[in-house]
Structure 1
Amino acid sequence: MADINAPAFPESVADGTIVEWHVSEGQQVSRDDLLAEIETDKVVLEVVAPDDGVVTKIVKQVDDTVESNDLIAEFEAGASGTTGDSEDSAPAVDPDQPAAPVQKKQAADGGEPVQATDKKGDADHKDQSPAVRKAAKESGVDPKEVEGSGRGGRVTKSDMANPTLKADSSIKSDSGRPVAESTGERTEKRVAMTRLRKTVANRLLAATQETAMLTTFNEVNMKPLMDMRTKYKEQFEKRHGVRLGFMSLFVKAATEALKRFPSVNASLDGDDIVYHGFYDIGVAVSSDRGLVVPVLRDTDQMSMADVESKIRELGGKAQDGKLGLDEITGGTFTISNGGVFGSLMSTPILNPPQTAILGMHAINERPMAVDGKVEILPMMYLALSYDHRMIDGKEAVLFLSTIKELVEDPAMLLLDL
């Protein structure tokens, strides 16, 4: 018998919450199979099987709080048990056959009959995956009232996320009050915030209340950068195996600007100003679990191809919930690109303890005055939010102007001008 423990959390993470079990007690698993997910304030961690065997006992249930290295399950290597290919696996059922009726079965010793139930009876909850039970607890929706898309009509996690109610359903919350009508109109669903989203919310609220945040704006002509990308994108992708995007040049331009204005690359620690001699730039990513900011390390030593490759790698991990703690901690500056969602202008919120954040926005064609003539150019608004306790207005404006100059004339980066 072996113990399955929670991962060792770093000092900055006090505890975590078990958000999902992908196996049940007695289930046979293979080495490195995903057993459970633990959500911390910063990232979701996966617990995998140490060997082939059976999960004999689940000690910590969904929504339980666990600390570093806590025992969460017991495991027996080499043993065999029930199989389960996924959270929604179930014994094969012929949907054309009627459900087995409830029967009374005479005990072999002539004693009192015992009640046998089918899947429609009191044992329904035993056939539901942990994810389904968790969704039911959060929403107050009874899985028995939901149309299932799994084998034999079994309700799956995705069914609970967007429930289609049975025609005769009358879903009620734990208090007995109806929470949804069978017509599907004017429905409501109450879901508890995840630890990650709650942490992000608290940090953003603190940033607005505890800093002297101010935002300055500028606009940049994207035509030179777009022309360069059109000219070299095929060669770039062929040589480096990654597409040439706009973010890599903005990262490199921000890195150069940070070198010229060290206070923008600094952070506040109490009454102390910490000037960083390195450039770790976070790139904000919106994922299904909430906003995360994976960090590019030492961007001054990265090529544009390196930046594009790393952004692609970290972005994929963010969407899959696979980011490690070391990939989202730290950072001396942040870039947020609301333009991918069509945002024309916004005031990004600081990511403490950083003292500045750059906001990119949508590229729109606008009439611009150029040498006394009106030209239609692809323009982007840039926004720099900064902590005025640390950064003076002059530095903030010049920092943003530097990024504008470098983006409008990319050759300056190559020539180190």
Structure 2
Amino acid sequence: MSEEARRTIAADVVFDGETAHRDCAVVIEGENIVSLILRREIPRGADVLELPKGVWLAPGFIDIQVNGGGDVLFNDSPTPEAITTIVRAHRKFGTTSLLPTLITDTDEKMIAAERAVAEILPHAPGVLGVHFEGPFISPERLGVHRADLRRAPSPHHVEMLAPPPGGVSLVTLAPEETPPGFVAELVAAGCKVALGHSMANYAQTRAAMAEGLTGFTHLFNAMRPLASREPGPIAAALESSAAHYGLIVDGEHVDPAILRLALRAGLGHPMLVTDAMPPVGGDGRGFVLQGREIFVENGRCVTEEGTLAGASLDMASAVRNCVSLLDLPLERALVLASANPANFLGLGKRLGRLVAGYRADMTAFDPQSLRIVSTWVAGERSAEEW
């Protein structure tokens, strides 16, 4: 590709994933970043996009738990078309890549989800793979997952859950509901494994981590609570420097005081997740989840009984909440939304930073409101501006 094909995006602040640089620009060629330069170093005659005054440019957000968006639920429609709608709905909130997430369902639905992701992966760089949240979960920590669909794993599940070609497969399970060695088999097959919807005790959690479990799905929610004589999975997650744990920062799922404590005490790697449902990027109204009516009340997705059913949360709001509710510096909140999930998925040498050789997945936003101005995925700017 010729020198003339290079494009330059200049901003008052460029956050490269570690450091905020003032009056800089990102140079991209094709789908990759070539360099980060000072504004005054931009060559004369270069193809330059000057972002509005005050706007930051940062790595695109990576969301590993997306049930739906744009009024589409992945469980209802595990198809490439549905994934496209979900991706488009979340992109307006700065999410440049995600894992479509299928909650506990039948084997047939899981196979359909895997095939849909495999079909779309070569054409959609914003899709990184698939997240299976269930069905190997605890009957005591179901949340809104259907009890009649939860089950123990069978031998064929290891092959079925293996990553699609070129993609990632994340499996959320309750280790106490699976046989010894099952986590290790999934890891050997190339899966990322996370604990979630689980009543595992501390010893069971540590045993699963010894087999290769490294993730914790929406830490604190739908798992055995932390107790003085049974620390359970929460303590195991927070004390391990190898652990990655998703946090839903909406002010509803977990009290901000608990999240602040976890961020101060935890040795591992927190990640922002949305656990988003169809209202995100859609009409904001209720929906039906596997036969149950879900209501949206004051930004909360709840059943008739008041049980939380995923979230009406987008990543830009999650980042903003980290600053306003958790007192985090904006730079750290951005790491939780980009570099940390990229590292968890094994993509940290390709995504989550704005440095030479990385894919040009970027989001531009107002640092006060977190209003998204523009996004780029693999060097391509969104046709829609918000």
Same fold per TM (> 0.5)?
no
| TM-score, normalisation: structure 1 | 0.21
Name which structure has the greater RCO, CA cutoff 8 Å, separation 6+. Answer: 2
